[in-house]
Amino acid sequence: MARGWESKAVADQIEEGKQAQAPANSQSSLTPEERERQGRLSSLQLSKARLLDQLDRAKHPAHRQVLLNGLRAVEKEIEDLMI
């Protein structure tokens, strides 16, 4: 079960990587600030995915709470960047 889910996650990451490479040509027209913002957003999205994966496997209530707090913080940062 976990192996299949992990394979799906890897496939999703590969697909996201391909999508990120496609607009690379259009990134040359972005300002340095926009490129930095996009890089930060990408990093936050990866962090969110990692936290969700860890949360899915976490058993101890205290550990789950720490992960939930981290997830909320990451989601807040993503929301702030989208504005």
In tens, the pLDDT along 6-30 reads: 666 777 777 777 666 655 555 578 8
- pLDDT for position 58: 96
Give yes or no for a contact between 57 and 67, defined as CB atoms under 8 angstroms apart. Answer: no
Q: Which helix (H) or strand (E) holds 33?
A: helix 32-57
Task: Report the pLDDT value the prediction gives residue 83, as an integer from 0 to 100.
Answer: 84
Which pLDDT score, from 0 to 100, does residue 66 have?
97
Rounded to two decimals, the pTM is: 0.65
Rounded CA separation 51/78 (Å): 14
pLDDT of residue 1: 46
Mean pLDDT, residues 60-65: 97
> What are the tokens at 25?
């040509």
Length of the chain: 83
Q: What is the mean pLDDT of the chain?
A: 85
Residue 61's pLDDT is what?
97
Please, what is the Cα angle at 75 between 80 and 49, to 5 degrees?
135
For 26-55, what is the mean pLDDT?
A: 92
